[in-house]
A and B are shown apart, each in its own frame.
Chain A
Amino acid sequence: MFLVPGFIERFLHRMASPPHFYAITERLMPWLWGIFSLLLLSGLYSGLFLAPPDYQQGESYRIIFIHVPSAWMSLFIYSVMAMAGAIALVWRIKLAEVVAISSAPVGAGFTFIALVTGSLWGKPMWGTWWVWDARLTSELILLFLYLGVIGLYNAIDDKRSASRAVAILALVGVVNIPIIHYSVEWWSTLHQGPTVTKLDKPSIHVSMLIPLLIMAVAFKFYYLIAMLQRAKTEVLVREQNAQWVKSMTEQELAS
Chain B
Amino acid sequence: MSLLQAFLAIVRRDLVLAFRRRSEIANPLLFFILIITLFPLGVGAQPKLLQAIAPGIIWVSALLAAMLSLDGLFRSDFDDGSLELLLLSPYPTSVLVLGKITAHWLVTGLPLLLIAPLLALLLGISERALGTLLLTLLLGTPVLSLIGAIGVALTVGLRRGGMLMSLLVLPLYVPVLIFASSAVDMATAGLPVSAQINIMVSILLLALVLTPWPAATALKMSIN
Contacts and interface: CB of A to CB of B under 8 A. Distances in A.
Interface of A: 89, 141, 144-145, 147-148, 151-152, 155-156, 158, 161, 164-165, 168-169, 171-173, 175-176, 179-180, 182-184, 186-187, 190
A144 B167 contact: yes
Nearest to A182: B175
Contacts of A179: 175, 203
11 contacts: A141-B174, A144-B171, A148-B164, A155-B164, A161-B222, A168-B214, A169-B150, A183-B175, A183-B179, A184-B178, A187-B182
A183 B164 contact: no
Contact of B221 (A151, A165, A184, A190): A165
B167 A151 contact: yes
A176 B155 CA distance: 19
A144 B161 CA distance: 16
Interface in B196-213: 203, 210-211
A148 B157 CA distance: 16
Contact of A171 (B157, B174, B214): B214
B154 interface: yes
Contacts of A186: 178
A152 B210 contact: no
Given A152-B164, A180-B171, A184-B178, 8 more contacts: A145-B171, A151-B167, A156-B157, A172-B172, A172-B211, A179-B203, A180-B172, A183-B178
B44 to A, nearest CB: 22
Contacts of B222: 161, 165
B43 interface: no
B167 to A, nearest CB: 5
A168 B224 contact: no
Interface in B155-175: 155, 157-158, 161, 164, 167-168, 170-172, 174-175
A155 B155 contact: yes
A165 B174 contact: no
Contacts of A175: 210
B33 to A, nearest CB: 27
B61 interface: no
Interface of B: 150, 154-155, 157-158, 161, 164, 167-168, 170-172, 174-175, 178-179, 182, 203, 210-211, 214, 217-218, 221-222, 224
A161 B156 CA distance: 13
B171 A164 contact: no
A140 to B, nearest CB: 9
B164 A151 contact: yes
B168 A148 contact: yes
Nearest to B171: A144
B174 A184 contact: yes
A141 B157 CA distance: 26
Nearest to A147: B167
Contact of B154 (A141, A147, A152, A183): A152
Contacts of A173: 172
Nearest to A163: B221
Contacts of A182: 175
Given A165-B221, A183-B179, A155 B214 contact: no
B214 A172 contact: yes
A142 B101 CA distance: 26
B224 A158 contact: yes
A154 B160 CA distance: 12
A168 B218 contact: yes
B182 A190 contact: yes
B161 A161 contact: no
Contacts of A151: 164, 167-168
B70 to A, nearest CB: 15
Given A155-B164, A156-B158, A180-B174, A161 B150 contact: no
A115 to B, nearest CB: 14
Contacts of A156: 157-158
**Which of A141, A171, A183 counts the most B-chain CB atoms under 10 A from its CB?**
A183
B221 A180 contact: no
Please give me the 3 A-B residue pairs with the lowest Cβ-Cβ distance, nearest first: A183-B175, A144-B171, A148-B168
Given A161-B221, A187-B178, A152 B171 contact: no
B140 to A, nearest CB: 12
